[in-house]
Structure 1
């Protein structure tokens, strides 16, 4: 037997195993630990944003001036941008510490800019904002044309300006970061590489026979809806006088646009859907479980705390989070629509967003 050959073969095997083990160790994250995420809820209030741990139910108050409204966050969930101070400022929050670390503004010495839409790009470097601007000329207040401005968050300098139609509001990035979904009276898409804004789908200016749509700007889901933008939509048919309620679904990966009209009207402000895209949960004075394939409400129950604006789902799809309007956050079982718990908060609220934060 050739012992030296066998020994050399075993040594090769040992080093191969060592290399594979090292690669697995490095791939698993810092110190060989797999990177985990923590789900947190962020709820805008007056002079405060609430950070709520849905597991422990601990509530942390983050002081931020004025009504705290729209939110956008980085891909890792670690930095949150909140529209605040009467839509004139953006509070930047470290979500691991739940503290304000910076404040941004688009106003200049020449005009006051009010923010009606926010989206941070996937790199976390550029903040896009829909602006309505005004300036004082002698004794008159003059409105300037609406734009999207792009800010480099490091330098706080505006590096680009994009003209948009009146009524432009919510902004959402496509998953690849190359395009921006622009919600105006109709649906537009801005191609970042081509610097080109194009009409995608008429909604309010649709053909009357297809129904004239009117969706609710303030509670559009996206990052917390499996990368499908979801807005509640009401349609009017002039020929028959019929009015329907439903949802707009816009796939932020493929660009596919879809409308679902429901079989009855209960009044809905917002909603969120399951990962398989078969079911949506929506509400206002009632909470409904809707079948997105048939357009039917499968179950409708009273919203126990009363009128709410914000309806959102946990990452695992098992819990429905309800807030907005009243000073509270409620937890419903998504399967049974049974109210599990309501936590009182210190101010009335606007919405509830669900963020997965990398630890």
Structure 2
């Protein structure tokens, strides 16, 4: 309920009641705590206090380094990490480093790899992975059908899938909507009902029909970290040609995106800004959906309402991903190496740095918010 509505509802009991209500609201707002999470080699979940930008604790992640993919529980207290060569998922209480969940997806006769694809249901009760299995025969490997695997979080250590459903190949980052669907980022963006296995098209990409002068998009979601805006972004690159000769030198190149509102499950597909440099990951400003930020060899700021890149900051090395504080004032840029670069979201100027104990490689950079 908005504050103005709350005050109107208390007007009948007088100003003393309204003041009491305001006093009750304030502690809850102050209690919210943001933690920046990432994984570093050889196997550490780093929990960073975003008030101080200091590592508050480091959790040991069992198994060989995976891809560093992290999925968050809705209450922010648990994080699920893809480890052991992208085969196992471990759940951590980020307040204590206690391991509360473990799913070993491979068996003696079936090797299972999960490429970034980990998500948690909106009620926190189920965990989802996209499994890419292949059979281990005595004289050969057999390629099996990819599938969405559903785990009960309450099964804890030793959890096994309670349901599986066939899905497309090429799926990387996934997310869940408030309605309970799982967004699947592959050649196209689709959504699956994890209760029934029913799949619907969200945004056609590889199968779009935009006309003969448009290049089918090259789409890939290695990192889609839109928890601050409750959204999922699948970036893509495409080109508009001047004629059907498809001259790549005279084509107009664009960054585009499929952006899914995780509150409603609805999506928009838009060519955002001209393609001028590589971006590995986009996030939007939590209070202005027209402002996007991107990272790779540069940190960039884009106004998609104007289809313009409005600021660019050269980085000292490659960074794979980025995230933003809830107030929208601070950008954190990480991945690839062992430092997280901190920037002012308005100017993109560097305002700090966090040095970690190992490199992040392909790891996510997620923001967990605990409100009590």
Which bracket does the TM-score occupy, shorter chain normalised? 0.7 to 0.9
Per-residue Cα deviation, 1:20-70 (whole angstroms, up to 9, x for no partner): 89x969x959xx963722111011222112111122122132221313521
1:34 aligns with 2:28: yes
Q: Matched residue of 2:263: which SS? A: coil
Q: Which residue of 1 aligns with 2:352?
A: 341
Contact persistence 1:248–1:260 (CA under 8 A): no
* Structure with larger RCO (C-alpha < 8 A, sep 6+): 2
Greater fraction of residues in strand: 1
1:288 aligns with 2:300: yes
1:167 aligns with 2:167: no
Give the structure-1-normalised TM-score. 0.86
Q: Matched residue of 1:217: which SS? A: coil
C-alpha separation between the residues in 2 aligned to 1:114 and 1:39? 31
Tell me which moved more, 109-118 or 310-319: 109-118
- Point out the structure with max Rg over C-alpha: 1
Q: Matched residue of 2:213: which SS? A: helix
1:45 aligns with 2:40: yes
Deviation at 1:351, TM superposition (A): 3.1
Among 341, 354, 357, the residue aligned to 2:367: 354
C-alpha separation between the residues in 1 aligned to 2:185 and 2:148? 12
C-alpha separation between the residues in 2 aligned to 1:164 and 1:329? 35
Aligned counterparts, 1:113-262, within 5 A: 113-116=112-115, 117-155=117-155, 156-177=159-180, 179-192=181-194, 195-207=197-209, 209-224=213-228, 226-237=229-240, 239-241=246-248, 242=251, 243-254=253-264, 255-262=266-273
Contact persistence 2:128–2:148 (CA under 8 A): yes
Give the structure-2-normalised TM-score. 0.83
C-alpha separation between the residues in 1 aligned to 2:177 and 2:346? 30
Tell me which moved more, 60-69 or 49-58: 60-69
Q: Matched residue of 2:222: which SS? A: helix
Structure 1 unaligned regions, length at least 5: 1-15
C-alpha separation between the residues in 1 aligned to 2:169 and 2:349? 42
Q: Matched residue of 1:157: which SS? A: coil
Q: Number of residue pairs matched?
A: 335
Q: Which residue of 2 aligns with 1:10?
A: none
Alignment RMSD: 2.5
Tell me which moved more, 186-195 or 43-52: 186-195
Structure 2 unaligned regions, length at least 5: 1-12
Contact persistence 1:228–1:252 (CA under 8 A): yes
